[in-house]
Amino acid sequence: MKPTIAVHASDGATTPLPIHRLRSTSTPPFTTIMLSSSASDSLMIYMKNEVGVAIPIYVKTTDKVEKIYMEAAHTRAINRGSLRGKAFYHKGRRLYPEDVIGDVGIAFYDTVRLKAVEEPQSEKEINQQMEFYPLTNEHEAPIE
């Protein structure tokens, strides 16, 4: 199977094009060429913390929500201590780490918000959550 790219024209049409034909093909103006093996399952979404800072991240529809938690644990814009007792929500629905991004209805340019957990959690559940997502010590506070 030869590698292909998706050619997206300004009228919204998408055409798969073999890479070896790219040099011999004249593309009309305002054409975006995306070098991706599976452009249809890639998403750019925004991860928003409690004070309103939105961080763009790239995920796939087949990824688990766990990837969003891992991105939050490693970004400098979210204080590592602020993840304790918090969860991500999308359109009012709590996202659990084992959920699949495509199955919970997250689409391109959607925003997931970090909020306090609405249902009370025991100390054991909070500690277990922290064990699943170990945080490094390199990011102690957000960038000012």
84-142 tens-digit pLDDT = 888 999 999 999 999 999 999 999 999 999 998 876 666 776 666 666 555 555 555 55
Query: What total of structural domains would you count in the chain?
Result: 2
Identify whether residues 31 and 46 lie together within a single domain: no
Model-level pTM? 0.57
Identify whether residues 124 and 61 lie together within a single domain: yes
CATH number at residue 114: 3.10.20.90
Identify whether residues 47 and 27 lie together within a single domain: no
Query: For the segment 33-76, what is each residue's pLDDT rounded down to a tens digit?
Result: 444 445 568 999 999 988 878 899 999 999 999 999 998 888 88
Identify whether residues 110 and 75 lie together within a single domain: yes
> Which one-letter amino acid corresponds to residue 141?
A
In a domain, 137, yes or no: no
Per DSSP, what are the bridge partners of residue 45? 57
CB 110 within 8 Å of CB 47:
no
Identify whether residues 17 and 81 lie together within a single domain: no
Identify whether residues 9 and 64 lie together within a single domain: no
What is the rounded distance in angstroms from the CA atom of residue 106 to the CA atom of residue 112? 8
CB 90 within 8 Å of CB 62:
no
Identify whether residues 75 and 121 lie together within a single domain: yes
Identify whether residues 84 and 31 lie together within a single domain: no
Which domain does 68 fall in, by range? 40-132
| R_g of the chain computed on alpha carbons | 19
Q: Count CB atoms within 10 A of the CB of residue 66.
A: 17
